[in-house]
Amino acid sequence: MKNITSSLIVSAALSSGAFATEFLAPFTHIHASKNGTPYVHSFGIEPAFSGRDLFIDHTFIDGDGFTEHETEIELEWAFTKRLGMIVEVPYAWEDEEGVSTKSGFGDLAIVPRALLIESDRFLLTAQAEIALPTGSRNFGGDTAIAPGIAMWNDLGNHFTLNSIVAVEHGFDANETELVYGVGLVKSLGENHAGHDHSGGKCNTAGMLHLHLEVTGHTPINGADDGDINLEGLVGVTYGLAQNCDIRAGYFFPITHPNDFGYGLTTGLIFHF
């Protein structure tokens, strides 16, 4: 019995050591799973897979008595195979009827993250988004933190599902809400790396990806406790080159009352 117990302890120690070593393993940029299924970024959902990518997105929103334009720069940077960070900085312009145009930086978002589970068809990443006000008089918000998990599922036949769930707490307003989203992606076309995808290095240039997303948030406390607020999005991403994608999407409110009528978003993704 002692020998069995000792063997289990040694096996667990070796497994823990190997897992810890993987966290410090060098990062290698890949575009697909070992099965050759493309890793595709959704529009409004952080990915479970790691990367070194630069996003430049511009969004237009048409609301009740106002229009808004926002340009956001987002950097996703993997330090190792499993550890990474996302940094987001938006700048917005808003025109409101009867009021002069206002503009300014939105909140800075910093998202440390760690890939915890990795298999050929499933990824799970833990993360904690930290929102820091930039001091903008017009668009500054609340200091907040949102710990959560992001997942990626290979559904087969080049269908994939990106999903996320988090609990966001705003410290200044002392408000907490549940944040969630799912994004279905259908990839069309052939990659250009042959049939050996063991390293996940397929070239997705020329591939077309169709998106259908639902994102939402539900306050957990406060006057709006329990309200469900949902938005939908349909979009497309196209691989211009091995290291560059272009994308566009149309988003709209699903539940009522809503804060806007519709929105359009376009962007470029550069892979390093």
Domain extents in the chain: 27-271
pLDDT at 102: 87
Q: Is CATH 2.60.40.10 the classification given to domain 27-271?
A: no
Residue 196's pLDDT is 43
pLDDT of 56 reads 98
Q: Which residues of 44-82 are buried (b: 16+ CB within 10 A; e: fewer)?
A: bbbbbbbbebebebebebeeeeebbebebebebebeebb
Q: Give me the pLDDT at residue 242, please.
A: 84
- Residues with Cβ within 8 Å of 156's Cβ and at least 6 positions away in sequence, in order, are none
Backbone angles phi, psi at 10, to 5 degrees: -65, -45
Model pLDDT, residue 4: 54
pLDDT (0 to 100) of residue 14: 45
Q: Looking at residue 198, what is its pLDDT? A: 47
pTM here?
0.87
Residue 142: HSE in the Cβ half-sphere, 13 Å Cα cutoff? 12
- Tokens 């966290």 correspond to 23
Give the pLDDT confidence score for residue 209 in this predicted structure: 97
Structure tokens at 201: 């290095």
Instruction: Note whether 161 and 187 are within 8 A (CB).
Output: no
User: Is residue 52 within 8 Å of 272, Cβ to Cβ?
Assistant: yes
Q: Residue 202 has what pLDDT?
A: 58
Q: With a cut of 70, list the residues of the chain below it in pLDDT.
A: 1-20, 135, 137, 140, 191-203
